[in-house]
Structure 1
Amino acid sequence: MTDIQTRIRNSFDRQTMMRTLGAQLAQIQPGQVVITAPILPTSLQQQGAGHAGLAFSIGDSAAGYSALSLMPEDVEVMTVEMKINLMSPALGDRLVAEGRVIRPGRRIMVVAADVWTETAGQRKHVAILQGTMIPV
């Protein structure tokens, strides 16, 4: 495991929100991070689909960790702003958030994440996030 992977895994393990959601780090590469989360009975909205807050939470974290993967070792990262477009109800077994850096910078990083629902190997694109991260 690389230093970047260890750093991101250690940070992720300190996020109690991710633990509450059952989220897991699935992939870490420079500028790209994938997080998965089951669509649990405790993560549903009133019509039975995965709540937008679940999609936003794992999408924001995937995008944030993709930024952190390109930042110096002595800094952390925080979200400055994040926009989400919800395109389809999150019906399925789990969500997969694929975060990536769009534009790296020293002061801010523009990031994005695609969130997919998965059921029996089939994927459906349910949300797109775009935002800005800042080193702290």
Structure 2
Amino acid sequence: MLDKGRTCPPQWSAFAKQKLPCDLVDILSEPDMFSEQDGDFKNVSYGVAMLTLLHSCMKVAVYHIEHELDEHNYTNMCLNSLFHQREKFYQAMWNKRHLIHAQDQFAHISLALDFHTFSVQAFRCVHTLWKMSEYS
């Protein structure tokens, strides 16, 4: 969501006002998310895409707070709501820990590990949410 010039999208204020990150946490915390069944809508790929979007939203929110861009206090209210949902999110990620694969399972791959995986995106979100506690 942040472009190379480190500017935020103009629609961020609307996303923060509507608490988009909180909605993403609700979606990611649904019990049928990260389905491993072929053909299911809420499969692992869909879940990873939602985690990627959540992480992007959290990065923009932190950027807004750090650079005092929160004119209407929407980002601050959004982060406060998100912070109150953290336990639900942590529990949902913990319940899906079986999706994390040991690194030795990728030993045959000569290229760098793909960052668009459950383990990487879940870690990024959990870590960023944990770091955001200083803003709540």
Fold shared per TM-score above 0.5: no
TM-score by length of structure 1 reads 0.31
TM-score by length of structure 2 reads 0.31
- 1 or 2, which has the higher helix percentage? 2
Structure having the higher Rg:
2
Higher RCO (CA 8 Å, separation ≥ 6 residues): 2
